[in-house]
Structure 1
Amino acid sequence: MKRLLYLIPLLLLAATRPAPIHLHTTWNGHGAGALDTTTARAVLLTPLKVTDDKGTEYTITRFRFSYRQNSAFQDSSGNIVRNSQLFTRDYFNTNLVDSTWSRIISFELQPGEAFTVDGVVVKDAKGAKMLAPNLELTIQ
Structure 2
Amino acid sequence: MRKLINNIKQYEGHFTIGISSIIVSAYVFMHLNYLDDPRVTPKFTKIHDSFSAIDGITDDGWFATILMVVGLTMIFSILLNRKKVINLSFRIISALYATIGASFGIRGLLETHFNITWLFAFLSIALLVLVAKGSGQHFQKH
- Establish whether TM, by shorter chain, passes 0.5: no
Greater share of strand: 1
TM-score, length of structure 1 as denominator length: 0.31
Greater share of helix: 2
TM-score, length of structure 2 as denominator length: 0.31
